[in-house]
Structures are given as structure tokens and as C-alpha cells.
Amino acid sequence: MKTFFGLILSFLSFAVSARGYSVNVLSTGVEVKGGQHLLEMQVWNCSNHDIEVPFGNLPWAGNTLGLVLYPVEKIRGVPLKEESPIADFPSTGIKIKAGGYIEGDAQLEPRFGDLSRYDKSDGLLVFWSYDVSWITGGDPMIAAGVVPLGKTKLSAPSQKAGCQ
């Protein structure tokens, strides 16, 4: 069973391209800082030109990131209930250089309540999805993955993993 979950815990990400932009969105895991659980995200610009993205369209801002938290241990079969906080984000544009990336953290507590009870267990699986058309425009294109929250840790991808 642990081998099965080990295979599931290999995170997935999908590079997509639209209107000349090649963008990849991925997560490097969940980190706990100051008692807050943060889903660490990266947005890679794999194109040959810089792009500018409104801050509110990034995965860690607003409600652009789809999340499902699923218990791995005793409470199997019931995903955690999600709340939808309301927040206003600046319309500031964020530049992502050609071949570069930006990082941000999506806070999980405002949407799912106290998650500390999962820190020392096999924890939760954090399934995420993001419509990359928030960045590229055009038709919906979904990037998705799964990362563990708990004692199982992922190793961060290499510096250029986002565009390979």
C-alpha cells in the first residue's frame, strides 16, 4: 500500500503552449511556516520572450487554484471541506523573464481550516489544478498535480526542471 501511495506522491505537471507562450506550472511541495501550511508553486516561462501576468491571475492569488485535500490515513474516503475566502488582489503585472520562473505560496488554512493534525502522520494528499489560460489566454488548458502534506517530503525539482 505504501508503495502505491509512493507512486501517487510523485507530483505531476504538464507544460502547455498557447499563443506562442510555453508555460509550465508545478508545485514543489507543502511547507509549514509560522503555523501556516503553504503549497509552494512555481510558474515557468519556457518561451523565448518575457511575459507579464496580472498578480491576481497567478495560482497563489485569488481563487484561480483548484484544490482537493484527501486524507491518507484513518479518515479515508472523505475529502476535507473547502471554504472560499474573498480577497482583493492588486492588478499589478508580474514579469516572468524568458526561460525564468516565479515562485509563490498558496495558503491552505484560509480554505481548509487547521491542518496541523496532519503534520506528523502520513497526512494528506493535496491535489491541485490550475487553468494556464489565466496566463496565456485562449482556450482552457489545465496543469495539475498532487503533493503530500505530512511526514512524506518531496525533493525540489532541479533549477531547469520546469521547462524540460
Return the bridge partners of 90, or none. none
CA 30 – CA 117 distance, rounded (Å): 14
What's the pLDDT score for residue 8? 38
Q: Read off the pLDDT of each residue in 19-31 and give the average, rounded to a whole number.
A: 79
Q: What residue segments make up the domains of the chain, in order of their start?
A: 2-163
Asked if the model's pLDDT at residue 9 lies above 50, the reply is no
Instruction: Report the chain's mean pLDDT, rounded to a whole number.
Output: 75
Position 96 scores a pLDDT of: 93
What is the value of pTM for the model shown?
Answer: 0.76
Q: Which residue has the higher pLDDT, 152 or 120?
A: 120
- What pLDDT score does 109 carry? 86
User: How do residues 53-111 score in pLDDT, each as one tens digit?
Assistant: 988 889 998 778 888 888 776 555 566 666 655 555 566 889 999 999 999 999 888 88
Residue range 22-37: mean pLDDT, rounded = 87
Give the cell for residue 102.
516565479
C-beta atoms surrounding 163 within 10 Å: 15
Distance CA 22, CA 122 (A): 35
pLDDT score of 22: 87
Residue 6, pLDDT score: 39
Indicate the CATH number of 2-163 among 2.30.110, 1.10.357, 1.25.40, 2.60.40. 2.60.40
- DSSP assignment string, 113-163: ---GGGTTSS-EEEEEEEETHHHH-SS--EEEEEEEESS--PPPPPTTGGG
Closest CA to 119 of 145, 147, 152: 152
* Strand order across the beta sheet in which 36-45 lies: 15-18, 21-33, 36-45, 101-107
Query: In which residue are the cell numbers 479518515 written?
Result: 75
Identify whether the C-beta of residue 42 lies closer than 8 Å to the C-beta of residue 106: no
